[in-house]
Amino acid sequence: MSPSQESVFSEYDAEASQTSKLIRKFKETPFVPIGMAGFAAVVGYGLYKLKHRGDTKMSLHLIHMRVAAQGFAVGALTCGVLYSMFRDYVGKPKE
């Protein structure tokens, strides 16, 4: 490796910790972690309700939970895209 490449890697390592990178990404796109958390919540709720599903078939219950989890994740990503577009085009003063 050339000396210039080594300096790039050392600057990258010293730039920030994983926690600060995660916080920076959360500030840039806040709806992605919200979508992931909602997805996990729907899956957790579905697993909890799996025991008390009554006479509903297992496959039908799993399909409903999959659709709910996907809907939450896609909805959060859509909100994130709309927020990003609003911030870039409406929130900025035009020059």
Question: What is the residue-wise DSSP string for 9-72?
Answer: HHHHHHH--HHHHHHHHHHH-THHHHHHHHHHHHHHHHHHHHTT-TT--HHHHHHHHHHHHHHH
- Quick check: is 95 in a domain? no
- 76 within a domain of the structure (yes/no): yes
User: Where does the pLDDT of residue 89 fall: very low under 50, low under 70, confident under 90, or very high at 90 and above?
Assistant: confident
Number of domains in the chain: 1
Domain that holds residue 64: 6-90
**How big is the chain by its Cα radius of gyration, in Å?**
21
Q: Which residues contact 84 (CB under 8 A, 6 or more apart)?
A: 29
Confidence at residue 36, expressed as pLDDT on a 0 to 100 scale = 80
Residue 3 has pLDDT above 60, yes or no: no
- CA-wise closest residue to 64 among 41, 43, 78: 43
Q: Please state, in angstroms and rounded to a whole number, the distance separating the CA atoms of residues 16 and 56.
A: 50
For residue 15, what pLDDT is reported?
62
Position 67 in a domain:
yes
Average pLDDT over residues 42-48: 86
Whether 16 maps to a domain, the answer reads: yes
pLDDT of residue 73: 83
pLDDT at 13: 52
What is the average per-residue pLDDT within 15-41?
80
